[in-house]
Amino acid sequence: MTSADTTLAYTATEMMTVVSARALTSDDVCFVGIGLPSAACNLARLTHAPDITLIYESGTIATRPSVLPLSIGDGELCDTALTTVSVPEMFRYWLQGGRITVGFLPGAQIDRFANLNTTVIGPYDRPVTRLPGSGGAPEIMTHCGEIFVTMPQSRRSFVDKLDFVTTFGHGQGGDHRARLGIRTKGPTRLITDLCVFEPDPETKEMTVTSIHPGIDRDQIRDATGWPVRFAERVTETSSPTDVELETLRDLHARTRRAHAADA
């Protein structure tokens, strides 16, 4: 769990956050989600991508929070935003207008083509668990230039067949998105606590391209409900650097102090 630039031990969640942050650039306009995506986007802003534009679903544009928001309605977002627009304007002008380059999405279930389920576990009419539903996820998946999916990996969530398709990723694979008239890339990265998947250029099946330090292929297979494909060339993910970890931990520490003071 160390590299030449890393002397600090790190958690699986920190690894996921750092890997997600590294995929962002100062040129990106990013549709941010609460939780790990928010931490990743702000870590990128505080390290290698200072000019990244962060947009939250509540309509805050170019926000630069000093602490992580508890929700999309957190006042910290409006206080530090360049401007705040109405939610309809944010979806219609910014998202549907093709002005957002990257969006983050999670899921309760994901399949090999990065379709997501956030609706039900079990049969729709008699579910074992009723989930929060779609929210804006289908719109985000369709209209952002590309999508990064962030999920801890297990057979419970990485399934061969979704119980319900809430959000269309690569559909049945191949050119399915294009046949439906969708011009954006869809899911280009699936970042987990074990590895990074990317879609095969032809089939669009999510394929392992990078494995995190200390993880082997059998662990990845055991945590996946479909036969895992590995790229011809699989790299080892670089460990988080001390700078990345210190910046991330300081951000979380500031957040805890701020929220404790507000309690």
pLDDT of 8: 87
252 has pLDDT over 90:
yes
pLDDT over 70 for what percent of the chain?
Answer: 98
CB 41 within 8 A of CB 30: yes
Catalytic residue selected from 14, 57, 198, 244: 57
- Report pLDDT digits (tens) over 107-136: 999 999 999 999 999 999 999 999 999 989
pLDDT of 46: 98
pLDDT of 263: 60
- Report pLDDT digits (tens) over 171-213: 999 999 999 999 999 999 999 999 999 999 999 999 999 999 9
pLDDT of 4: 55
Round to whole Å and give the CA distance between 107 and 190: 11
23 has pLDDT over 90:
yes
Indicate the domain borders of the chain: 12-251
Count CA atoms closer than 13 A to 123's CA, side-chain side: 2
pLDDT of 73: 86
Nearest to 38 by CA among 243, 196, 197, 255: 255
List Cβ neighbours of 140 (8 Å cut-off, separation of 6 or more): 31, 95, 103, 105, 147
| Per-residue tokens: 60 | 């805050």
The confidence band for 259, taking pLDDT boundaries of 50, 70 and 90, is: confident
89 is catalytic: no
The CATH architecture that domain 12-251 belongs to is 3-Layer(aba) Sandwich (3.40)
Count the neighbouring beta carbons within 10 Å of the beta carbon of residue 250.
Answer: 11
